[in-house]
Amino acid sequence: MGKPIVGIQMYSLRDEAERDLFGTLEKVAEMGYKAVELIGYFNAKAEKLKERAEQAGLRIPSTFISLNFKVIGKLQNDFAKELDYAGVLGVKYIVTPWIPVQEQPTMDDVKFLANVLTKCGQQAKDAGIQFGIHNHDTDFKLVDGKPLFDHLLERVPQELMMAELDLGWIYMAGYRPADYLRKYRGRVPLVHLRDFVKGRKDTELGKGVVGCEELLGELAPAEVECVFVEQEHFLESSLLSAKANMEYLRKIGYVN
């Protein structure tokens, strides 16, 4: 595969999107991003959101949807509504950004989560959308000597669940992101790229310890389709950080 397209996870611009979603999409495109991954729609109609993204020249490969783990009996119906919206939006992937992880997870937790994720994966597949899971550092807590995240990827069939690797959180969990890209080659169509300083605060790309430039070279061999920049903490503003991250990618020659 060729070099993946570069997008931004809209959580990075949540304050701007809440005020003016469509205007923020235009700003994202002006910066040079080619895609967005959504998290929340801010009451926008799916048809209008799709239209405005296309007008800005942005793809929407994926969207974040939280699963209702608190009320399992409602999870299937709640997820069905999200799939309907995503279907109109035209996304290829629907990703759950978070799973509940106990302080000391057990194999019973693994079995429970794998069962829920398998059902969601089948439900999404029936709707013509690929389901996926996004990791945080807590997903790498060990269960019987193996990270919980790996247990889940082993138990849920690949055709029902892809992995959206957050490379920064893998690093913060004490693992090598490049190893995970190689291990799950062909199962990681989407990745998140973020940098971290010491501690748990993320920063602009190239200013932390994750080694972003080296990791970018691992994406195409892993068959990644889209890399989403993500950042939660900002020195000045979310817009300035989003611009700085794109400027970094240009500076190292990853984008024109």
The residues, ordered by sequence, that sit 6+ positions from 153 with a Cβ below 8 Å of its Cβ are: 161, 163, 184, 187
Burial class of residue 18, CB neighbours in 10 A (0-12, 13-18, 19+) = exposed
Find the mean pLDDT for residues 176-199. 97
Question: For domain 5-251, which CATH number applies: 3.20.20.140, 3.40.50.1820, 3.20.20.150, 1.10.540.10?
Answer: 3.20.20.150
Question: How many other β-carbons are positioned within 10 Å of the β-carbon of residue 253?
Answer: 9
Indicate the residue type of 255. V
Whether the per-residue pLDDT at 1 is higher than 80: the answer is no
Indicate the residue type of 73. G
User: Each residue of 152-178: pLDDT tens digit?
Assistant: 999 999 999 999 999 999 999 999 999
From the list 128, 139, 55, 127, the residue with the least C-alpha distance to 96 is 139
The domain locations on the chain are 5-251
Q: What is the pLDDT of residue 198?
A: 85
- pTM (2 d.p.): 0.96
Q: What is the pLDDT of residue 220?
A: 97
Q: What is the pLDDT of residue 64?
A: 98
